Amino acid sequence: MHTRTIGPFTVTAIGLGCMNLSHAYGVPPPAEQGEKVLRAALDAGVTLFDTAALYGFGKNEELVGRVLKPHRRQLTLCSKGGLAGVPDADGVLKRVIDGRPDTLRRNCEDSLRRLQTDVIDLYYLHRWDKKVPIEESVGAMSRLVEEGKVRTLGLSEVSAPTIRKAHAVHPITAVQNEYSLWTRNAEIAALDTCRELGIAFVAFSPVARGFLCDAVPDVAGFDAKDIRRTMPRFDAANHARNLKLLPPYRALAREAGCTPAQLALAWLLHKAPHIVPIPGTTSVDHLREDLAAADVRLAPELIGRLDALINEKTVAGNRYSEQANREVDTEVFA
C-alpha cells in the first residue's frame, strides 16, 4: 500500500471515512453491512479510519470500535468532538455545535467508551463554535493530550487564520476540510497554510458526495433524510447543469485508464504530498475501487484538462445552504 504521513503516523495514502455507514445519506445500511466494509478495509491494508461523535449520534463510533478493537494498535483511529447529539425537551437527539471545554472533555470521554479504546490517535474539533474563542477550545483539547486521552489534535472546516491561531496554542496535526475537483475552497489559503506549518490536509467528500463517481443521475430519488437534499448543487436546476460536466469527465477517466471515482481520488493525490483523501462507501466493491486509485498515474497535461473542466467556476451552486455556510469557517470564493 502507498503511504503518507499525518504527524507522527504513517498511514495508507487513502483512508476510510466511516460516516455513511451510519449517517447522512438516507437510511444507513444494516450494521452487518457496515462491518463487512470495515473488515474489507482491514483486509486491504487500510490503516486510517475516520469517525465522529455526530455520526449516527454515536452509533458509528460503536460500530467502528467493535470491529477495529482487535486491530487497534496497528491503526490510526480518528474521531471528532464539539458537534454531537444533544437531547431536546422531548428527549430527541438534535445536532449541536458546542466548543466549550467541559463539553469537549465529555465528548472525548464518550467517544473513548464507544470506540473501546484508551486513546484516540487524532482528535478533531468537528466544528469551531464561534461563540467560543478557538484558543479556548484548542486549549481544552490540549489538556486531553496531556492526560493521554488523545495523541494529536486536528480541526475541521476551518480557515487559514483559525488554523494559525489554533496552532499557536497547541500543534495541529491535521486539518480536515472538504476538497475535491468541484470544491476548491481549500486552494484559497488552507492548503498552503497547512503545507507551511507541516500540517496534513485530510480531504473529506473527495468524490463530491458521489457526483464524481458518476453515481447521482437522479436527485429526485434521494431519501428524505439524505443531506444532499439541502445542498444547492443538488437542486434540480444546478444538478442538471452539473450533469453536463460528466461526459467529458468520463472521457478523461477512460483516457487515464481508470474509473471516474479513481480519477477524482488520483487527482487529489497528485495535487500535494500532504493531502490524504478519506472517501466513504457502504459497498465493499466501491471500497476496493477507491483504494486502487492510489496506483493511478496522471500525466500533467491530463491534470491540466481536468482542472479546466471541473472547478469553482464551472460547477453550478454553492456546496452548502446559507445556514450550513454560517456554521463553518472555511474561506469562500468571491
Q: Which three cell numbers stand for residue 126?
A: 468537528
Q: Is the pLDDT of residue 334 over 90?
A: no
Band of residue 160 on the pLDDT scale cut at 50, 70, 90? very high
Query: Under a CB-based contact definition with an 8 Å cutoff, are residues 179 and 265 in contact?
Result: no
Band of residue 1 on the pLDDT scale cut at 50, 70, 90? confident
Band of residue 215 on the pLDDT scale cut at 50, 70, 90? confident
Instruction: Write the CA distances from 36 to 139, 261, 262, integer angstroms.
Output: 38, 21, 21
Give every CB contact of residue 319 below 8 A, 6+ residues apart in sequence: 178, 183, 185, 231, 232, 233
Four-way CATH pick for 3-210+272-296: 3.90.700.10, 3.20.20.100, 1.20.1250.20, 3.20.20.70? 3.20.20.100
Residue 309: predicted pLDDT: 98
Rounded Cα–Cα distance for residues 153 and 104 (Å): 12
Q: In terms of Cα–Cα distance, which of 182, 174, 176, 169 is closest to 139? A: 169
Rounded Cα–Cα distance for residues 204 and 226 (Å): 17
54-83 tens-digit pLDDT:
999 999 999 999 999 999 999 999 999 999
Residue 112: predicted pLDDT: 98
Q: Which residues are catalytic?
A: 55
Residue 38: predicted pLDDT: 98
Residue 213: predicted pLDDT: 95
- Kindly state the average pLDDT of the residues 144-173: 98
186-205 tens-digit pLDDT:
999 999 999 999 999 999 99
Q: Which percentage of the chain shows pLDDT scores above 70? A: 100
State the number of CA atoms in the 13 A half-sphere of 115 facing the CB: 30
Residue 52: predicted pLDDT: 98
Please state, as a whole number, how many other Cβ atoms lie within 10 Å of the Cβ of residue 85.
Answer: 16
Residue 254: predicted pLDDT: 98
268-326 tens-digit pLDDT:
999 999 999 999 999 999 999 999 999 999 999 999 999 999 999 999 999 999 999 99
Query: Under a CB-based contact definition with an 8 Å cutoff, are residues 93 and 120 in contact?
Result: no
